[in-house]
Chain A
Amino acid sequence: MRVRITFTKQNALRYIGHLDLHSLWERAMRRAELPLAYSQGFHPQPKISLAAALPLGFSSRGEVLDVRLNENVPVENIAKQLSENLPHDIKILNVEEVDEKLPALQTQVLSASYDVKLTEPVTPSELKRRVESIMMAESIIRERRGKSYDLRPLIEMISIINEANGTAWLKMTLAAREGATGRPEEVLSALGIEPETTLVERTRLIFKE
């Protein structure tokens, strides 16, 4: 049985990396006594795959993983058993059975949406000006790990949300395909905003139909 789980990752767990999150799920599933399927070989590993790595420091309300079980278990039971065995900062949003034959989860991600809260406010008009200028740009050449690349085609959408109290924050959707991933902190730098003064939350992953 192949099961797809959508979950949140918040607070303290923002500081837990991708590999650690993987072991966290392994242990949670063992605690929940789910009939995990293991890989073959000398060091059998449970078949759990996370859709897309979430950068350290970001929270999320829409992470997705697939897990394979040896026996069929009603999805409500999976949700219940897991919820009782997860740390506080992970909450299960949805559990569903998916077709065993679907391609690997990681290959199906197209893009990801983020909410970006600013702890050092920028005036809405100034923010609007900066967003417009990068959205109008033909290309935004940036450098990462010594290689230059064009950030512009990786930005699918940026919008400004104005609050009643005069502050503003951002929503953005960036490409998250294998080999073509837009990073929110790169976009923020391009906007002239220090990434460390922001709180970024991934809100959802968008998959191929």
Chain B
Amino acid sequence: MILVINSVRITKRLYKKLFLGTDLRRKYGFFCLISTNLRGINFGLSLPFSAFILRYNKKMLTAEQIENKLNRILLKVQKPGRYVGGELNSVVKDWDSVKTKVAFVFPDIYDIGVSNVGLKVLYDQINQREDALAERAYSPWFDMEDLMRQHQIPLYALESKRPLACFDLLGFSLPYETLYTNALNILDLSGIPIHSVDRDESHPFIIAGGHAATNPEPMYKFIDAFVIGEGEEVIHDIVNVIQRGKKQDEKWSRFEVLKELAKIDGVYVPRFYETTYMEDGTVAYTEPTIPEAPKLVNKRIVGKLPPPPTKFIVPNIEVVHNRVSVEIMRGCTRGCRFCQAGMITRPVRERSVEEVVEAADAAIRSSGFEELALLSLSSSDYTYVKDLVDAISKRFEGRKLTVSLPSLRIESVSVDLMEKLKQHRSGGFTLAPEAATEKMRRIINKYIPDEEIIKTTTDIYARGWTTIKLYFMIGHPSETLEDVQAIADLCKRVIAEGRKVAGWKVKLNAGVSTFVPKPQTPFQWVACDTRESVLEKQALLKRELYKDRSIKLSLTEPEDAILEAWLSRGDRRMADVVYTAWKNGSKFDAWKEGRKYDTWMQAFAEHGLDHAFYTHRQRRTDEVFPWEHIGAALRKNFLFQDFRMSLEGEIRVDCRLNCFACGILPTFANLRRENPGEEWKCPEVKSPARKVISETVSSNQLRVVGD
């Protein structure tokens, strides 16, 4: 399953661009006042809540009781439509006629979660089964949470209004780390014990997946089982195990079910592992404690992308994305070194133009949406992108549909593509150069010369778009103030050249985010920039760009990046920090209404840990990472070589041109053999199947050798 992309920059960027769109903070800025007021009340209420949990665990509220209680509070909250369900294409099954009840949880507000494509796919997968049902739940916003606690309403699923605690399985989507505290909050609101070991046979199994599961360790105490990789197939395996465990004649204990789950390919059950630390606080090794748990849990992928969902839930209120999304391709061959999504979603698999067009058409018809998004990490790399654009514009001609094709390469061909899709050029055009000096472009392995950027932006202005959005990234340890200055200079040049062809109306939005080193990327060894250094770089940009009225600069809070950085590369000891931070009031960490940096600092102090150890420390070359037993099918040696190349400023070309043996093929040789041809962008595997394949990629000892 593709869930959302990681790093802060990507949360803010690809995440929004691919799955969300508009700038949330700006859009919901008005919440700020209200929630600050409410939070005061909230703390007063959180403490006695544990008493109430015990009470409603004994006797769970019925759906009807919940609805009655809701009727009394819903008019007091903003956007009550978030909490009532009843959307077209949502699936309400007869509760008693199915064996297994699954609730998928997106631990952020409805407005964001309801458009998530990953959960949409899983929701469909489960609801297609006759023996199971899937419902949905999201985080209530501050105002609703306060009222729910006050009126003792447990968190419920939107379809049946039954408490989440009634379900057999809760599947959390964790696309980015700043949702961790929200996930704990949801368990608490549901009256489910926060810690995995405190749950018994009466509680649902708590599973989680998504890109943040690449390093599941900071959440290991709270989640019963993690899904590593794509969820489409593995979700069925999990449901099957739970069904077997519930059979009357067998009746497995919770422990036995977990043991059975641990045997599934791509499932990580953290309680069956133990981490030993070195004296300096780094990890010595993490090892399974029972024979059923594999030494290395490799990610699960699907050999062929299943048909895209065509029945989209149509929200009854305005949400961030009222649109149909069709994933045209999974994975990326570009190899940008900062991009976790590009590393962990390999191999590239494409859908056919026909499949995309038919799915888009069916989904638009069944939803009535006015917007279609064709999603991938790098649309320009989709082999038949021109054919796709032609087919889409032909199919939807005259149907008043907005089509978006995000993640285009910086080249004039992209402008041609956009021109065909846009009926009028009212929207902006978004490009991501990331860096503005040759040095930095080589370090991050995203090399686009200035001339190419200027040529493309000038072309965009000349063809009638008035606004361009450019994304940049600051905060890599090798970056100097000159590299940052170059970003400002490039922006000014884009505007100056734009004015020559389109006059004074041209505008530029420069989004500059802060780099967060991510696990399972070549930058997993590097330090995250300090707050002071980021502030200095941001001050330079402000000084340089605030004068120009045509340029709008948006920056991210340095604390946001730092918070995400320690969560991303944390070890098991971080779990206590997450718990304490949540208990002291942290939630909605990705929102300015929720940000509580001090609470986190206190939590670190309480557990005798130093956040800088996780955030600002350059890792030793022979360091064993906390996520070493979790495999994204990337050889550690491949990542390390790529890291060394970055230090030398060496470029690695698109791996469609030259395979760099990242580790995908040896791990998934059988799958590739079963799926020959051009759908996969990795070389074909012709050799006969070997027996043990996974050992090739488990490399606990790092060997530094040349290619």
Contact = CB atoms under 8 A, between A and B. Distances in A.
Interface of A: 11-17, 19-20, 23-24, 26-31, 33, 38, 42, 44, 56-57, 85-89, 196-197, 199
User: Which of A86, A87, A199 has the most C-beta atoms of chain B within 10 angstroms of its own C-beta?
Assistant: A87
A13 B84 CA distance: 8
A15 to B, nearest CB: 4
B86 A89 contact: yes
Nearest to A10: B86
A33 B76 CA distance: 37
Contact of B81 (A15, A33, A44): A15
B289 interface: no
B400 A11 contact: no
The 3 closest A-B pairs by CB, nearest first: A12-B86, A27-B368, A12-B84
Given A12-B316, A20-B317, A88 B86 contact: yes
A179 B322 CA distance: 33
Nearest to A26: B368
B71 interface: yes
Contacts of A56: 75, 80
A30 B86 contact: no
Nearest to B316: A16
Contacts, number: 69
Nearest to B92: A88
A86 B314 CA distance: 11
B559 interface: no
Interface in B88-130: 88
Nearest to A33: B365
A31 B86 contact: no
A87 B86 contact: yes
Question: How many B residues are at the interface, by size bracket?
Answer: 20 to 34
B301 to A, nearest CB: 34
Contacts of B71: 199
Contact of B74 (A15, A29, A197): A15
Contacts of B243: none
Contact of B85 (A12, A20, A31): A12
A120 B465 CA distance: 59
Contact of B424 (A26, A30, A42, A85): A42
A16 B80 CA distance: 8
B318 interface: yes
A38 B318 CA distance: 21
Nearest to B158: A12
A24 B370 CA distance: 12
Contacts of B265: none
B247 interface: no
B318 A20 contact: yes
B88 A86 contact: yes
A194 B343 CA distance: 58
B75 A20 contact: no
B84 A15 contact: yes
A113 to B, nearest CB: 21
Contact of A44 (B84, B317, B400, B426): B400
B369 interface: yes
A57 B400 contact: no
B87 interface: yes
A20 B81 CA distance: 10
A27 B80 contact: no
Contacts of A24: 316
26 contacts: A11-B86, A12-B84, A13-B86, A13-B316, A15-B74, A15-B84, A17-B317, A20-B316, A24-B316, A27-B314, A27-B368, A27-B370, A28-B368, A29-B368, A31-B366, A42-B424, A44-B400, A56-B75, A57-B75, A57-B80, A85-B88, A85-B368, A87-B87, A88-B86, A196-B72, A196-B76
Nearest to B84: A12
A14 B80 CA distance: 9
B367 interface: yes
Contact of B367 (A17, A31, A86): A31
A14 B44 CA distance: 32
A13 B86 CA distance: 7
A21 to B, nearest CB: 8
B367 A196 contact: no
A196 B316 CA distance: 23
B314 A16 contact: no
A16 B400 contact: no
B188 to A, nearest CB: 25
Contacts of A23: 318, 322
Contacts of A29: 368
A24 B75 CA distance: 20
Given A27-B369, A87-B87, 11 more contacts: A13-B86, A13-B316, A17-B81, A17-B317, A42-B426, A56-B75, A57-B74, A57-B75, A85-B88, A87-B88, A196-B75
B81 A16 contact: yes
B93 to A, nearest CB: 14
Interface string B312-342: 0010111000100000000000000000000
Contacts of B365: 31, 33
B322, B365, B368, B400 pick with most chain A CB within 10 angstroms: B368
Contacts of B88: 28, 85-87
A86 B89 CA distance: 10
A128 B658 CA distance: 86
A12 B85 CA distance: 6
A27 B87 contact: no
B400 A31 contact: no
A30 B75 contact: no
A85 B367 CA distance: 9
A38 B399 CA distance: 12
Contacts of A33: 365
Nearest to B368: A27
Contacts of B318: 19-20, 23
Interface in B47-96: 71-72, 74-76, 80-81, 83-88
A23 B72 CA distance: 26
Contacts of B85: 12
Nearest to B88: A87
Nearest to B322: A23
A77 B367 CA distance: 20
A13 B80 CA distance: 10
Contacts of B400: 38, 44
A7 to B, nearest CB: 14
A18 to B, nearest CB: 12
Interface in B452-478: none
B80 A30 contact: no
Contacts of B81: 12, 15-17, 20
A180 B314 CA distance: 35
A143 B506 CA distance: 49
Interface string B364-401: 01111110000000000000000000000000000010
A23 B316 CA distance: 8
Contacts of A86: 88
Nearest to A196: B72
A11 B84 CA distance: 9
A87 B424 CA distance: 32
Nearest to B77: A15
